Chain A
Amino acid sequence: MDKVMSDKKVIILYILPAFLLLIVLVYVPIVLTGYYGLTRWDGIGEREFIGLANYTRLMSDGMFWRSAYHSFLLAVFSLLSLIGYLIISMVLAGKIKGADLFRKIYLIPMLLSSVAIAQLWMRIYHPTNGVLNRFLTSIGVDNPPLWLADTNIVLFAIFIPIIWQYAGFYILIYYAALKNVPNELVEAAKIDGATPWQIGYKIKLPLISGVIKVTIVLAVVGSLKYFDLIYVMTDGGPNGASEVMASYMYKQAFRTYNFGYGSAVGFFLLVLSLVVTWLIRKATTSKEDEVQY
């Protein structure tokens, strides 16, 4: 057994195609981004090596830290949303009539491109014609909020479509994981008289804890580098109130020709993600040891 399963040739054969792609198409850009981050470069002409100057600037760049804070807030909200998605998935994976249909329907918004989702939510949030404010006006609210124009609200207003956008993604993963739980275990527990709640909480949840950990990482990392809807719906505004790290990086690199500085922001984002992921792993390792490795 050990001999077969530690055959170096097989391991290399299995890893290599993906690994080469990763190195060439992902790591080379990462390394180059790191390098560009050490230069002053408009992305067009000559590069000038300036050492860590971009990073010292980054450390005292209030706008960057503000966008980093927004990104972290998004990560927190995404994490919280996972709980909801997990519950919905458990309900759907249970013995519910029409669960199959519900599941398919629930995932439909996931198929929409960001362009479509942005358009939809801009119609919902429109200050006068929007679905939301028409409703609020009709129930007697005089001055409904200016969802995307009010600097105090805009960040949270834009979190909702972002989180909604990923509902299908997580429900899909959780659902598949829950369906993967061996039936015998569930049946056995039922025979023993466990309630559906107990089956879910005591049997299914621990069994899919590996998947849950993965989704936690995905949600956090995905939030930290989130870009799409922010770019289309608010462009980080008004006045940077909805700026996140990736949109800030984009603006620096492409709009103001600070490609060097933008690269530093991008690289720093990567380092932050790494640190956070490492922390998450640390925080969840103790349990992992029991269940898996």
Chain B
Amino acid sequence: MDQTGNRENRANRESPPTENPLLQKIAKGILYIFLIAVAIIQVLPLYWLFLFSLKSNQEVFNLPPLALPQDPQWENYARVWTQGNIGQYFFNSVFITASAVILTVLFASLVTFAITRMRWKLNKLVLGLFMVGLMIPVHSTLIPLFNFFLNINLMDHPLAIILTYTAFNLPITIMILLGFYYTLPREIEEAAIMDGCSVHRMFFRIIFPMTAPVVATTAIINMIYNWNEFVFVNTFISSDRFKTLTVGIQNFIGQYSTDWGAIGATLMISILPILIAFILLSNSIVEGITSGSVKG
């Protein structure tokens, strides 16, 4: 219960091994070459997408993916910006994504806290119920959900999307949080309760901040999912003023042909905010740890 495993582990240590410094250097060199190679591979898709967005429809198919377009089609961007109301879509995307992420992370943290830290009989059952939520294929839910939102008059309303995102991302978020909550030492709560701290205060002031790294992690994951999601948006939202950026992509898919350059430009535009948000949030993974370890 209280991390006895750690102590055992520490007891398990072995005698200091002898190491060859030269070998170590070579190993490190190889490691870095490998890391850099992987890094390059991982960056290329972004570079590819950028080039893609500057290509004409013919070049998209004809040129090798990483070849420069002959005549960069900056007008792809102009087309994307002027057509439809990208500004509105953009705002909707940010609003819907942010609301859903906040709701999901908050609700999931509360649930995970109650399941892992509090004492009650049905906790395993409730956890199991949440886990089942992971398993339903999205397309099975469309007709029932459509019907449901229609009946409660939430059709074509952003709330329908926000709540759906929240509900569908809760299980995975709880699952990820779970592993971390299990590792929190019980002593923290004991100390807090000794000090006369209420449960709410303990959760919001101590536990929640302590889990900042994993909260940031789940926030990133949720953010990416919601930002790129389009099946629910298309199904539940019909008026233009509530649609999101993913609709911008649809705008360029035609009955018989597709404007790939413009799609590339839309993808490029829509990846920037999430890239920035990602970098910011991902810093807090590290920051969270330092503050967490001080308390822990």
Contacts and interface: CB of A to CB of B under 8 A. Distances in A.
| Interface range on chain B (Cβ under 8 Å from partner) | 35 or more
Contact of A109 (B42, B136, B260, B285): B42
Contact of A22 (B46, B110, B129): B129
Interface string A5-39: 11110110011011101101111111011001000
A218 B176 CA distance: 9
Interface in A32-53: 32-33, 36, 43
A33 B144 contact: yes
Interface stretch (A57-65, A141-149, A234-242, A249-257): A249-257
B256 interface: no
Contacts of B111: 14-15, 18-19
A interface: dominant SS: helix
A36 B136 CA distance: 14
A210 B179 contact: yes
Nearest to B6: A185
A174 B5 CA distance: 20
A202 B9 contact: yes
Given A14-B111, A29-B141, A120-B65, A104 B282 contact: yes
- Ranked nearest first, the 10 interchain pairs of A and B with the lowest CB-CB distance are A193-B16, A211-B179, A266-B140, A25-B167, A273-B135, A29-B141, A113-B228, A18-B107, A29-B144, A6-B119
19 contacts: A1-B193, A2-B119, A7-B118, A7-B199, A15-B114, A15-B126, A17-B110, A25-B164, A27-B129, A36-B143, A111-B274, A112-B46, A113-B246, A113-B270, A115-B249, A120-B49, A182-B293, A195-B17, A207-B6
Interface of A: 1-2, 4-8, 10-11, 14-15, 17-19, 21-22, 24-30, 32-33, 36, 43, 88, 91, 96, 100, 102-117, 119-120, 123-124, 129, 131, 134, 169, 172-173, 175-177, 179-180, 182-183, 185, 188-189, 192-195, 198, 202-203, 206-208, 210-214, 217-218, 221-222, 224-225, 227, 245-246, 249-250, 253-254, 259, 262-263, 266-267, 269-270, 273-274, 277, 290-293
